[in-house]
């Protein structure tokens, strides 16, 4: 039977299964072989193109004959994340860039350009860490935009932007000079004149994520690259979806950790029974969280405060759970998990990354506290 | 003698990176990038980059390290409390630092000296008598005199771990944990005592209307009215306050503000104040008592909109009348916030539904008391029942820890209607 002829829910379930089967084939085949190399610094461009080709980083976007499903996009990320957290993180970056382009009113970002991105033919990322922290009053905007004929001249340096290489692009925000409180969001091309990618100091893991500091010197942005101007109303519309998608990374790393506990249960269960956070308990917590995430994934563009609080709460729970799961997996595996070649110790560093990448646990809590506080007259 | 490390004529300064927080210390320089120790910030070339995140000199600003007390000098409240093997021992976690939360902590501590108790409060959890907020001006009570005991002092006295200015965000019934904005707490028993909030109608924007439901908001209202701490305005100064809602709280506040010299417009959709007690003539009694006070009761109207008007606020009434006032207070009734109860899937009936005898919620490990609960669908937001509710829950939880069955309730709660004392000092009333 052709998918197009099936009842909608059956067709959707079939699409989900097909997508996850295709992602699983990549994840447990070539990705599993290269996960350690990626951790140590090898950027897997070919695997990302392959994941894009099977629709692993575009499932959340409405496409002709296929309504977008945020849950499918997160499930695909999780499928890769069980094997390699760094790859799940890059899938998130690519998916976030897709969201920026798709949600923009600028037609120049749609059409062929969006299709090439959705199919993974071209790759991109997100430089939104700094603006997200800026809007949460954690830091100042680092890029400055000076209006020029029909566009802007951009200056400044953005630290730590991921999924980059020559030919890639990412969503960024700059403060408009002379207009306090106004910012412009745009797609920044790594190859554009005035842009320099500068290598970062060596991190303890996730080294193959194409992460650079991006220096802009008189970079000119034209109308075709503007995502939103001004950008605050736009960001209000997409911020929950942006944060929610990250739950896919956390879910994958947590599931990978739980799976690694079961792998030693037969041999070590007699001593592992004395540990905190046993795999069945963690699985029950992960399943609860995924049920919440699935409910939230039905309305990703809800702009209400209550919904955003729920999303922040789910992302927070994901970060905390994957830290506990990865740590407990190492306790369960013992010395074999502590080997430099073990996925179990790598996953501890991946989980720590989920907990510190924007929005980090501390940022999420600060944001939740601010949203919970009473609004009173000034 | 000209070594860069020698004491310089101008002390070395520090500069912080806005992107990553790395600190450039002039004394140390950045030798890896060719900046010798002693290199002044202004001598750093413009193309130098932060060694951690690569942003340039333009994203640095002068940095003065904060002065912090020496380690161990000040108690760290969040870390205090009983611990077993590095983990907080599960015990009773109370959510709410108002009257009900502290009554619960007192009652538990009275029965069990060793029980680990954690109290989570969105505010400082200072102990005060909320009813005093309705009479504080007429009695010339200075703000500081309202606090009977700070939250930290009460916590110390009761041996309670206080997590102040902490929001409780989620209950996980599976793992018996409470997520908060300062970490996740395991509990063996949870008591919800977080109270209710003023329910703002859509026409009253939160950023323009005061709600007097806790001490912080009350303090800020008094400041916004320019009220000296002596409780009397200087001669010739008489701010105009609109109070929306002429129930118990609205009428009491109107009375108190008017006695202190404020001009009050008291607005209500009912034709008279205290309309709930119309049969007892409460509204007419109050209006007679207010005859010589600067209170104007505007009945049978609603508020269509509140807007900012320069320094003032403008209220558009459903009657077409427009009022220009200094401040607006909403006293439009209370509603219990439901997110926390929802996260645990607790049964909800206009509030957290509790058993009328045991005060258990629909989850056997979660009890609730005070303004956040309803019994048979009815809230009873008065002071009197709180002490008895706390005694019931404390006896039950302590008995359970001592091995009694899960349903044993040594001190059953008796639900009875409360008598209401109206603290309109110009005319006190007791209503049933």
How confident is the model over A178-209, as pLDDT tens digits? 999 899 999 999 999 999 999 989 999 999 99
Domain CATH for B27: 2.20.28.10
Q: For tokens 């802009």, what's the residue?
A: A216
Query: Token pair for residue B325?
Result: 């006032």
Residue B86 has pLDDT above 90, yes or no: no
For B251, the enclosing helix (H) or strand (E) is helix B248-259
What are A63's strand-pairing partners?
Answer: A66
Residue B75 has pLDDT above 60, yes or no: no
Q: For tokens 């601010």, what's the residue?
A: A370
Q: Are A213 and A200 in contact (CB under 8 A)?
A: yes
Q: Are A351 and A205 in contact (CB under 8 A)?
A: no
Q: Which residues contact B395 (CB under 8 A, 6 or more apart)?
A: B111, B409, B410, B411
Would you call A377 and B208 a contact, using CB atoms and an 8 Å cutoff?
yes
Alpha helices by DSSP H, A27-83: 32-40, 45-53, 70-81
What percent of chain A has pLDDT above 70?
Answer: 99
Architecture of domain A125-230: Beta Barrel (2.40)
The pTM for the full model equals 0.87
pLDDT tens readout for residues B109-158: 999 999 999 999 999 999 998 888 888 888 888 888 899 999 999 999 99
pLDDT tens readout for residues B310-322: 999 999 999 999 9
pLDDT tens readout for residues B210-231: 999 889 999 999 999 888 776 6
Q: How far apart are CA A371 and CA A309, in angstroms?
A: 7
Q: How far apart are CA B233 and CA B242, in angstroms?
A: 17
Q: How far apart are CA A293 and CA B420, in angstroms?
A: 46
For B124, the enclosing helix (H) or strand (E) is none
Structural domain for B367, as ranges: 88-196+336-421
pLDDT tens readout for residues A205-248: 999 999 999 999 999 999 999 999 999 999 999 999 999 999 99
Would you call A313 and B179 a contact, using CB atoms and an 8 Å cutoff?
yes
User: B328: helix, coil or strand?
Assistant: strand
User: What φ, ψ does residue A220 adopt, rounded to 5°?
Assistant: -100, 125
B301 and B387 co-located in one domain: no
The average pLDDT across A65-73 equals 95
The burial class, CB within 10 Å (0-12 / 13-18 / 19+), for A201 is exposed
Banded model confidence at residue A3, pLDDT cuts 50, 70, 90: low
Q: How far apart are CA B181 and CA B222, in angstroms?
A: 29
Closest CB to B181 among A157, A160, A369 = A369
The average pLDDT across A272-294 equals 96
Within a domain: residue B376? yes
Query: Token pair for residue B317?
Result: 């009434």
Q: Residue B35 gets which letter from DSSP?
A: B
Would you call B172 and A288 a contact, using CB atoms and an 8 Å cutoff?
yes
Last residue of a domain, one of B287, B312, B331: B331
B206 and B322 co-located in one domain: yes
Architecture of domain A233-372: Up-down Bundle (1.20)
DSSP collapsed to 3 states, A257-316? HHHHHHHCHHHHHHHHCCCCCCHHHHHHHHHHHHHHHHHHCCCCCCCCHHHHHHHHHHHH
Q: Are B96 and B125 in contact (CB under 8 A)?
A: no
B250 and B305 co-located in one domain: yes
CA of A191 vs chain B CAs: smallest distance (Å): 19
Q: How far apart are CA A296 and CA A243, in angstroms?
A: 11
Q: For tokens 């829950």, what's the residue?
A: B393
Q: Are B334 and B381 in contact (CB under 8 A)?
A: yes
Q: How far apart are CA A34 and CA A50, in angstroms?
A: 14
Mutating which of A196, A293, A376, A378 best tests the B interface, going by the most B Cβ atoms within 10 A?
A376
**Which CATH code is given to the segment(s) A3-123?**
1.10.540.10
Q: Is the dihedral of CA B367, B370, B375, B378 positive or negative?
A: negative
For B356, the enclosing helix (H) or strand (E) is none
Min mean pLDDT across A18-27, A81-90, B51-60 is at B51-60
Q: For tokens 């939230």, what's the residue?
A: A296
Mean pLDDT of the residues in chain B: 89
Min mean pLDDT across A274-278, A368-372, B49-53, B262-266 is at B49-53
Report the Cα B231 to chain-centroid distance in Å. 23
CB atoms within 10 A of CB B124: 16
A217 touches B at CB < 8 Å? no
Q: How far apart are CA A234 and CA A105, in angstroms?
A: 9
Domain positions in chain A = 3-123, 125-230, 233-372
Residue B348 has pLDDT above 90, yes or no: yes
Q: For tokens 């009900």, what's the residue?
A: B100
B250 and B289 co-located in one domain: yes
Residue B81 has pLDDT above 70, yes or no: no
Q: What is the radius of gyration, based on Cα positions, of chain A?
A: 21
Last residue of a domain, one of B306, B331, B356: B331
Banded model confidence at residue B77, pLDDT cuts 50, 70, 90: very low
* pLDDT score of B1: 43
Q: Are A84 and A92 in contact (CB under 8 A)?
A: no
Would you call B207 and A376 a contact, using CB atoms and an 8 Å cutoff?
yes
Q: Which residues contact B254 (CB under 8 A, 6 or more apart)?
A: B243, B246, B264, B266, B290, B295
* pLDDT score of B360: 97
Last residue of a domain, one of B297, B331, B365: B331
What are B117's strand-pairing partners?
Answer: B92
Q: How far apart are CA A246 and CA A321, in angstroms?
A: 13
pLDDT tens readout for residues A101-138: 999 999 999 999 999 999 999 999 999 988 888 888 88
Contacts of A204 in chain B (CB under 8 A): none
B56 and B107 co-located in one domain: no
Residue B280 has pLDDT above 90, yes or no: no
- By C-alpha distance, the chain B residue nearest A317 is B179
B23-25 and B14-17 as β-strands: parallel, antiparallel, unpaired?
antiparallel
Domain CATH for B228: 3.50.50.60
- By C-alpha distance, the chain B residue nearest A370 is B167
Question: Could you tell me how many helices (H) and strands (E) chain A has, helices first?
Answer: 15, 8
Contacts of B167 in chain A (CB under 8 A): 368-369, 372
Banded model confidence at residue A4, pLDDT cuts 50, 70, 90: low
CB atoms within 10 A of CB A107: 10
What are B183's strand-pairing partners?
Answer: B180
* pLDDT score of B70: 61
* pLDDT score of B85: 41
Residue B80 has pLDDT above 70, yes or no: no
B138 and B190 co-located in one domain: yes
B interface residues, A as partner, C-beta within 8 Å: 18-20, 49-56, 58-59, 122, 165-167, 169-170, 172, 174-175, 179, 181-182, 184, 197, 206-211, 217, 220, 224, 327-328, 339, 343
Within a domain: residue B122? yes
Residues 121-160 of A with CB under 8 A from B: 130, 139-140, 142, 156-160
User: What φ, ψ does residue A196 adopt, rounded to 5°?
Assistant: -125, 130
User: What φ, ψ does residue B249 adopt, rounded to 5°?
Assistant: -65, -45
User: B259: helix, coil or strand?
Assistant: helix
Q: How far apart are CA A221 and CA A158, in angstroms?
A: 16
Within a domain: residue B286? yes
B359 and B387 co-located in one domain: yes
Would you call A142 and B56 a contact, using CB atoms and an 8 Å cutoff?
no
Number of compact structural domains in chain B = 3
For B378, the enclosing helix (H) or strand (E) is none
Q: For tokens 């911020």, what's the residue?
A: A239
User: A157: helix, coil or strand?
Assistant: strand
Q: How far apart are CA A296 and CA A71, in angstroms?
A: 9
* pLDDT score of B78: 40
B325 and B243 co-located in one domain: yes
Inter-chain contacts counted by CB atoms under 8 A, chains A and B: 94
Mean pLDDT of the residues in chain A: 95
What percent of chain A has pLDDT above 90?
Answer: 89
């Amino acid at each position: 039977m052709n998918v197009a002829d099936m009842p909608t829910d059956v067709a959707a379930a079939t699409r989900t299964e097909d997508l996850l089967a295709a992602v699983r084939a990549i994840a447990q085949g070539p990705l599993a072989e290269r996960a350690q190399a990626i951790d140590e610094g090898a950027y897997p461009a070919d695997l990302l193109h392959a994941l894009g080709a099977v629709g692993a980083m575009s499932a959340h976007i409405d496409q002709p004959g296929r309504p977008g499903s945020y849950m499918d996009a997160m499930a695909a990320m999780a499928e890769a994340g069980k094997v390699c957290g760094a790859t799940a993180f890059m899938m998130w970056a690519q998916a976030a860039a897709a969201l920026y382009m798709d949600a923009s009113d600028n037609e120049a970002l749609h059409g062929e350009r969006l299709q090439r991105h959705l199919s993974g033919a071209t790759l991109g990322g997100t430089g939104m860490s700094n603006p997200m922290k800026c809007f949460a009053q954690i830091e100042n905007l680092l890029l400055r935009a000076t209006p020029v004929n029909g566009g802007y001249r951009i200056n400044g340096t953005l630290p730590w932007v991921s999924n980059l290489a020559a030919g890639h692009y990412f969503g960024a925000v700059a403060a408009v000079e002379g207009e306090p409180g106004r910012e412009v969001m745009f797609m920044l091309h790594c190859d554009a004149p005035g842009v320099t990618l500068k290598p970062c100091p060596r991190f303890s893991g996730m080294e193959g994520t194409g992460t650079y500091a991006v220096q802009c010197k008189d970079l000119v942005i034209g109308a075709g690259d503007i995502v939103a101007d001004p950008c605050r109303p736009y960001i209000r519309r997409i911020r929950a979806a942006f944060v929610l998608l990250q739950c896919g990374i956390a879910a994958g790393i947590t599931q990978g950790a739980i799976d690694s506990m079961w792998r030693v249960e037969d041999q070590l269960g007699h001593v592992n029974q004395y540990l905190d956070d046993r795999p069945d308990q963690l699985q029950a917590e992960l399943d609860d969280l995924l049920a919440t995430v699935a409910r939230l994934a039905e309305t990703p563009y809800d702009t209400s405060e209550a919904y955003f609080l729920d999303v922040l709460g789910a992302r927070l729970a994901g970060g905390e759970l994957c830290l506990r799961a990865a740590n407990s997996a190492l306790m369960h595996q013992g010395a074999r998990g502590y080997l430099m070649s073990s996925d179990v110790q790598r996953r501890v560093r991946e989980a720590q990354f989920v907990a510190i990448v924007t929005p980090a646990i501390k940022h999420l809590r600060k944001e939740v506290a601010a949203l919970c506080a009473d609004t009173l007259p000034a | 003698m000209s070594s860069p490390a020698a004491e310089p004529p101008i002390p070395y300064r520090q500069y912080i990176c806005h992107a990553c927080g790395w600190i450039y210390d002039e004394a140390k320089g950045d030798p890896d990038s060719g900046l010798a120790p002693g290199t002044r910030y202004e001598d750093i070339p413009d193309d130098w980059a932060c060694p951690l995140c690569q942003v340039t000199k333009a994203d640095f600003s002068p940095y003065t390290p904060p002065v912090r007390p020496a380690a161990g000098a000040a108690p760290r409240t969040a870390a205090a409390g009983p611990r077993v093997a590095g983990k907080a021992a599960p015990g009773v976690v109370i959510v709410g630092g108002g009257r009900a939360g502290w009554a619960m902590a007192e009652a538990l501590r009275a029965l069990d000296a060793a029980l680990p108790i954690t109290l989570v409060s969105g505010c400082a959890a200072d102990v005060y008598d909320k009813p005093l907020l309705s009479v504080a001006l007429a009695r010339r009570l200075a703000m500081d005199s309202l606090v009977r005991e700070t939250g930290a002092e009460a916590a110390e006295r009761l041996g309670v771990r206080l997590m102040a200015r902490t929001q409780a965000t989620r209950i996980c019934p599976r793992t018996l944990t409470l997520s908060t904005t300062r970490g996740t707490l395991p509990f063996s028993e949870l008591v919800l005592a977080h109270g209710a909030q003023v329910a703002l109608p859509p026409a009253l924007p939160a950023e323009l209307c005061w709600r007097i439901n806790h001490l912080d908001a009350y303090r800020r209202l008094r400041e916004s009215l320019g009220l000296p701490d002596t409780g009397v305005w200087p001669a010739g100064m008489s701010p105009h306050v609109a109070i929306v809602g002429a129930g118990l709280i609205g009428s009491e506040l109107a009375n108190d503000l008017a006695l202190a010299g404020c001009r009050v417009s008291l607005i209500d959709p009912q034709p008279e104040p205290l309309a709930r007690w119309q049969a007892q003539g409460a509204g007419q009694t109050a209006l007679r008592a207010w005859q010589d006070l600067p209170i104007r009761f505007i009945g049978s109207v609603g508020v269509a909109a509140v807007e900012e008007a320069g320094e003032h606020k403008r209220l558009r009434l459903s009657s077409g009348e427009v009022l220009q006032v200094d401040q607006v207070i909403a006293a439009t009734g209370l509603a219990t916030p439901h997110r926390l109860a929802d996260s645990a899937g607790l049964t909800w009936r206009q509030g957290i539904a509790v058993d009328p005898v045991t005060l258990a919620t629909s989850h056997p490990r979660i009890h609730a008391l005070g303004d956040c609960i309803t019994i048979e669908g009815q809230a009873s937001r008065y002071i009197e029942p709180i002490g008895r509710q706390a005694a019931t829950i404390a006896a039950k939880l302590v008995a359970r820890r001592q091995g009694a069955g899960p349903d044993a309730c040594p001190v059953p709660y008796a639900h009875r209607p409360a008598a209401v004392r109206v603290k309109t000092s110009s005319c006190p009333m007791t209503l049933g």
